[in-house]
Amino acid sequence: MNKVKTGLIIGGIILIAVGVFFTTIGKQITAPTTLKEYSNSEHSISFKYSDAYYLEEKEVGNGERTHHFISLTEDTEENKQVREGTAPPREGPTAITVDIFQNNLDGLSVDQWVTGTNDSNFKLSPDGTITTLTVGEKEALSYRWSGLYEGKSVVIATPEFVYMFSVSYLTPEDTILRDFDALLATVNIQ
C-alpha cells in the first residue's frame, strides 16, 4: 500500500510540474521598467508611462476643432519599422492611446460624449456596459469595445477638453493592459 501512495504522490507532483511548465510557455518575463513622464500644459494633462513604450504625438484635428493624439507602442524594432513605413504592409501594433478632443464649443458631459459621438467607439461595445470610476480626481466612464483588436476606453470630460484613454489588446492577459492601468493611476488633469 505504501508503494501505491508513494506512486500517487510522485505522479501528482509530476502533473503539477507539467501544468506549471505549460502555463508559463509563451509568457514573457519582462525586466523591470522605469517610468517616463509626459506633460502638456496646453492640454492640461500629465501622466507617467513605462519606458518600454515609444511615445508619438500629433495634432489630427482640422481648422474647426482641435484633436491631439498621443500613441504609446511597445518600443521594438518591428514596431519601429511599422512607424517608419519600412515594414511590410500589416495591421498596426496594439497600443495605448490618448485622444484629446476640443470640448469648449459643445460643452458635452462625459456621458453625452461617450454615447453620442462616433469618436468614442462605444457603438462597438459588445455588451453596452458603462462603468463609472475616478481617474486623476475626475469622474470618468469606462467601457469595452471590439474591432480589429479588443479595446477598452476610459473617458473624462472637462469644459475645455474630452480625454479618451484607450488600449487595444489581443488577450486579457496581455501586459499592455497592466501598463494601461498603471498609466491611468498617474493621470493628472489640471
Question: Average pLDDT of the chain?
Answer: 88
The pLDDT value recorded for residue 97 is 98
Torsion of CA 97, 101, 107, 112, to 10 degrees: -40
pLDDT by residue (tens digit) across 81-121? 988 889 888 888 999 999 999 999 999 999 999 999 999 99
C-alpha cell at 118: 462616433
Residue 66 covered by a domain: yes
| Closest to 145 (Cα-Cα) out of 116, 169, 163 | 169
Per-residue pLDDT tens for 48-92? Answer: 999 999 999 999 999 899 999 999 999 999 988 988 889 888 888
In a domain, 95, yes or no: yes
CATH number for position 162: 3.40.1000.10
Domain range for 169: 31-189
**Residues 6+ positions from 17 with CB-CB distance below 8 Å:** none
Complete DSSP assignment for 71-125: EEEE--HHHHHHHHT-SPS-PPPP-EEEEEEE-TTT---HHHHHHH-GGG-GGG-
Asked, for residue 85, whether it belongs to a domain, the answer is yes
Domain count, the chain: 1
Sequence-ordered list of residues with C-beta below 8 angstroms from that of 137, at least 6 positions apart, any chain: 189
